[in-house]
C-alpha cells in the first residue's frame, strides 16, 4: 500500500471555476499505471471535479479506480456522478469545517456547518 496526496482545486468563493487543477506531475501520474486507486474525497458537489479527475487518471491506465466521499451534496447542478462509497448526503448549502474550506478559511473547525451569507461576504476572495 502506498499513499499519494493530490490537491485538486476548482473553486473560488462558493463557485466552481470549471477549471480543475491537479497538483501531480505527469511523471507522478504515470506511476499509477496498473495500480488499484482509491480516491478519498471530502465532498462531491456537482460531480464535475471528480469526473475530470477520474477521466484524467484513466489516461494512465490504472487497474481500477474507486471513489469514497464523506459528503455527497444533493444539488440540481449535479451531473449525477455518485461515488462508489458515501458517508452522508447533505442539502444544497455551502459547508465548511472538518477540512472543508471557504477560500482557505474554516478548514480547521472540528465540525461541519453551513457558512452564512455574511461569512461568505467577509471571507470572499
Beta bridge partners of 94: none
- Is residue 22 within 8 A of residue 6, CB to CB? The reply is yes
Q: 36 an active-site residue? A: no
CA-closest candidate to residue 6, choices 44, 48, 41, 51: 41
Active-site hit among 42, 45, 84, 108 = 45
29: which 3 cell numbers? 501520474
CA-closest candidate to residue 45, choices 21, 12, 11: 11
- Provide the pairing of β-strand 36-44 with 64-73: parallel
Q: Which residues are catalytic?
A: 45
Amino acid at each position: 500500500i502506498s499513499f499519494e496526496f493530490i490537491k485538486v482545486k476548482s473553486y473560488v468563493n462558493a463557485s466552481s471555476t470549471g477549471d480543475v487543477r491537479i497538483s501531480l506531475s505527469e511523471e507522478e501520474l504515470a506511476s499509477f499505471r496498473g495500480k488499484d486507486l482509491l480516491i478519498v474525497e471530502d465532498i462531491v458537489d456537482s460531480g464535475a471535479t471528480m469526473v475530470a479527475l477520474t477521466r484524467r487518471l484513466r489516461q494512465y491506465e490504472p487497474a481500477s479506480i474507486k471513489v469514497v466521499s464523506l459528503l455527497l451534496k444533493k444539488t440540481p447542478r449535479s451531473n449525477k456522478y455518485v461515488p462508489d462509497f458515501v458517508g452522508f448526503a447533505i442539502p444544497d448549502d455551502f459547508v465548511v469545517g472538518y477540512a472543508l474550506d471557504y477560500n482557505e478559511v474554516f478548514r480547521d473547525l472540528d465540525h461541519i456547518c453551513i457558512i452564512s451569507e455574511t461569512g461568505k461576504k467577509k471571507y470572499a476572495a
